[in-house]
Amino acid sequence: MNEKLVKEYNEKFGNKSAIQALEFFLKEYKGRIALASSLGAEDQVLTHMIVQIDPETKIFTLDTGRLFPETYDLIDRTNHRYKIKMDVYFPEAKHVENMVKEKGVNLFYESIENRKLCCHIRKIEPLRRALEGSDAWITGLRREQSVTRNNDTMVEIDKNNRGLIKINPLINWTENEVWDYIKKYKIPYNKLHDQGFPSIGCLPCTRAIQPGEDLRAGRWWWEQPEHKECGLHEK
């Protein structure tokens, strides 16, 4: 049923604006939908839109325990600006302790398998808890971001999360459109964006990029582009 429904949604909303899509889905799945925010530029745009439409919508973020200080600061600034209380989900302490004891605190530099294990414990497991009780979730994915997202659509089935409906309202947006919107509405954003960080994740796994580099070149920079997903959005 979900596959048929997703096809219908894409036919209806594939070329609609982000606001039009959000207005429909926030009403259709009210009380059963959430925005997963990484505090990135796209998610700040979506937070701004969602609060205007339905401020009661659940907005959450995943605190991996390895975030930049600027990211924590942005959580406070966003809550203050929109008068909301973003939910924060943490990894299970025992799982982190066992992983670090066995493989070391910076295990992710040693292999893709280790990096994905770290992402699984710090991101995937908390995400599943955050999405309990939801039938749909919203993300800030854009096709332009990376080669791993070229074929993404406005609406998808998330087979890794109970077959939930996954909505990507900004899928067709360009980087310029995101920043034009942020400037227009004076939306709070991570100060690291002004220091050459277009994509911001955990501190040990993120660096600034050089002019001309891919937007996600600074994420897990020691890996090949086709591997640069933490698992939250893998098909």
Rg (CA), the chain: 17
Q: Which residues pair with 34 in a beta bridge?
A: 58, 137
pLDDT of residue 234: 58
The whole-number pLDDT of residue 92 equals: 98
Residue 194 CB coordination number (10 Å): 8
Domain boundaries, the chain: 2-227
For residue 105, what are the contacts with CB-CB under 8 A and spacing of at least 6? none
Tens digits of per-residue pLDDT, 146-189? 554 556 789 999 988 889 999 999 999 999 999 999 999 999 99
Distances in whole angstroms, Cα of residue 7 to Cα of each of 14, 92, 233: 10, 36, 19
Model pTM? 0.91
- Give the mean model confidence (pLDDT) for residues 15-23: 94
Amino acid 147: pLDDT: 56
Rounded to whole angstroms, the Cα distance separating 85 from 87 reads: 6
Report the distance separating Cα 137 and Cα 134, nearest Å: 7
**What positions carry a catalytic annotation?**
230
Find out if CATH 3.90.1150.10 is the number for domain 2-227. Answer: no
Per-residue model confidence (pLDDT) at position 160: 87
Give me the percent of the chain exceeding a pLDDT of 70.
92
DSSP summary character for residue 57: S
Cβ-based neighbour number of residue 136 at 10 Å = 18
Q: Convert the pLDDT of each residue in 50-101 to its tens digit.
A: 999 999 999 999 999 999 999 999 999 999 999 999 999 999 999 999 999 9
**Partner residues linked to 36 by β-bridges:** 60
